[in-house]
Amino acid sequence: MRYRNLGKTGLKVSEIGFGGEWLERHDQEESVELIRYAGTKGINIIDCWMPDPKSRDIIGSAIEGNRENWIVQGHIGSTYQNGQYVRTRDMKFVVPAFEDILKRMKTDYIDLGMIHYVDAVEDWNTCMNTDYIKYVHELHDQGVIRHIGLSTHNPRIAKMAVETGFVEMILFSINPAFDMHPATEDLDEMFGEYEKGLAGIDQERAALYRLCEEKEVGITVMKGFFGGRLFDAKTSPFGTAFTPLQCIHYVLTRPGVSSILVGYDTKAQVDEAVAYETAEDEKKDYASVIASAPIHSYSGQCTYCGHCKPCPMNIDIAMVNKFYDLAVQQPEVPESVKSHYEALGVTASACIGCRGCESRCPFDVKVADRMVKTAELFGC
């Protein structure tokens, strides 16, 4: 298992994480064993947005005696009322629901205290201007939550969260289909029909990923499989099917992403996801699927897929392109981006213009031209 820094939290999270929302569908003992099994495979981050007692008890029992080896995302504002999940900012429900997480997980802290599910500006304003946010900060000041996070499906809300300066990480929905969809306050729209002719990644989402990378706000990912719809050509907006490994690789090549949280029903599904770590490049290749799809194209856009390799000058073209994309959005090149770019060793100025990489690019990116622009931008 490979581990990545979760932004500037100081935490290292497994690239493959555990999304726990299906735990309640199984016998408690079976689900406890499933989490423990995932831990033996190197998975160390688990999300608990679910308010129901059974799911929380399962996670608590699974990590008991091994708490220090798990990074828990616990949500503030996810409550259980009359046997149902209710998202709320009403403190008479928020406080006991969060205290219930601590009790059922048999812990006195949560690693990532999540401002739960904010997709609408009105809800954002409620969160930021009421006792709700005061409670979040109090928990952080007391060390009950080690870091403040936020979950959202809306890139505009995510950008606002990054710009607060106190939100250290974001749980965000990313997959090839969602990335083509403009910002919306209604999650159901993202699972709806995709218009023919919609081409490439939505620039607002691309800008969010670059901003998170620049500001060192880590991203953990939900809905990476588009609810399983990408696995069937009939339900995939691309008109062709992806595999789990291809979806995982797509997510993990987005700037700023630290971990993808996958939902599991069985140990075999854990094995299938963890197999990503040792899979051959051909099995992870999402770019060829997108490029050859009968619907939609990312033409002209670098997706950092790595098809351009190998370079005769040993330039890491995907990383150079990523740092160019990060820098070009700013009035001046950020020093942090420049230092990371220079640390590559072989920079864009080494390009000899052979254009061999362009013949391999599935999206017809004019790589050599970008290398010239990048060398001019960074001065090397």
Position 296 scores a pLDDT of 65
Give the separation between CA 105 and CA 146, rounded to whole angstroms: 16
Position 215 scores a pLDDT of 93
Q: Is the pLDDT of residue 198 over 60?
A: no
Question: HEC profile for the chain?
Answer: CCEEECCCCCCEEECEEEECCCHHHCCHHHHHHHHHHHHHCCCCEEEECCCCHHHHHHHHHHHCCCHHHCEEEEEECEEEECCEEEECCCHHHHHHHHHHHHHHCCCCCEEEEEECCCCCHHHHHHHHCCHHHHHHHHHHHCCCEEEEEEEECCHHHHHHHHHHCCCCEEEEECCCCHHHCCCCCCHHHHCCCCCCCCCCCCHHHHHHHHHHHHHCCEEEEECCCHHHHHHCCCCCCCCCCCCHHHHHHHHHCCCCEEEEEEECCCHHHHHHHHHHHHCCHHHHCCHHHHHCCCCCCCCCCCCCCCCCCCCCCCCCHHHHHHHHHHHHCCCCCCHHHHHHHHCCCCCHHHCCCCCHHHHHCCCCCCHHHHHHHHHHHHCC
Percentage of residues of the chain with pLDDT beyond 70: 97
Beta strands at 16-19 and 12-14: parallel, antiparallel or unpaired: unpaired
Q: How confident is the model at residue 205 (pLDDT cuts 50, 70, 90)?
A: very high
Give the separation between CA 263 and CA 334, rounded to whole angstroms: 37
Q: Is the pLDDT of residue 196 over 60?
A: no
Percentage of residues of the chain with pLDDT beyond 90: 72
Structural domain of residue 364, as residue ranges? 317-378
Examine the fold and report which residue of 234, 266, 282 is the final residue of a domain before the chain moves on.
282
The structure tokens 């048999």 sit at 106
Structure-token pair, residue 187: 């999650």
The structure tokens 């990048």 sit at 374
Q: What integer best gives the mean pLDDT of the chain?
A: 92
- 155 and 14 part of one domain: yes
- 241 and 333 part of one domain: no
- 59 and 178 part of one domain: yes
User: What is the per-residue pLDDT across 315-339, written as a single tens digit (0 to 9) for each?
Assistant: 999 889 888 888 887 788 888 788 8
User: What is the per-residue pLDDT across 123-174, written as a single tens digit (0 to 9) for each?
Assistant: 999 999 999 999 999 999 999 999 999 999 999 999 999 999 999 999 999 9
Examine the fold and report which residue of 282, 298, 330 is the final residue of a domain before the chain moves on.
282
Q: How confident is the model at residue 194 (pLDDT cuts 50, 70, 90)?
A: low
- 239 and 356 part of one domain: no
300 in any annotated domain: no
- 42 and 108 part of one domain: yes
- 344 and 197 part of one domain: no
Q: Which CATH number is 100's domain given?
A: 3.20.20.100
Q: Is the pLDDT of residue 193 over 70?
A: no
Give the separation between CA 48 and CA 62, rounded to whole angstroms: 13
Range ranked top by mean pLDDT from 12-16, 23-27, 49-53, 231-235: 12-16
- 7 and 131 part of one domain: yes
Give the separation between CA 199 and CA 181, rounded to whole angstroms: 10
Q: Is the pLDDT of residue 87 over 90?
A: yes
- 91 and 191 part of one domain: yes
Q: Is the pLDDT of residue 269 over 70?
A: yes
Burial class (CB in 10 A: 0-12, 13-18, 19+), 127: buried
- 277 and 338 part of one domain: no
39 in any annotated domain: yes
Structure-token pair, residue 276: 């990503």
51 in any annotated domain: yes
Q: Is the pLDDT of residue 229 over 70?
A: yes
Q: Is the pLDDT of residue 83 over 80?
A: yes
309 in any annotated domain: no
Examine the fold and report which residue of 257, 282, 307 is the final residue of a domain before the chain moves on.
282
- 150 and 273 part of one domain: yes
User: What is the per-residue pLDDT across 343-372, written as a single tens digit (0 to 9) for each?
Assistant: 899 999 999 999 999 988 888 899 999 999
Cβ pair 119, 185 in contact under 8 A: yes
Using alpha carbons, select from 206, 226, 225, 202 the residue that is nearest to residue 214. 206
- 149 and 60 part of one domain: yes
Q: Is the pLDDT of residue 267 over 80?
A: yes
- 69 and 122 part of one domain: yes
Q: How confident is the model at residue 291 (pLDDT cuts 50, 70, 90)?
A: confident
In the chain, the number of structural domains is 2
Residue 346 makes CB contacts below 8 A (sequence gap 6+) with 313, 314, 315, 316
Beta strands at 12-14 and 3-5: parallel, antiparallel or unpaired: antiparallel
36 in any annotated domain: yes
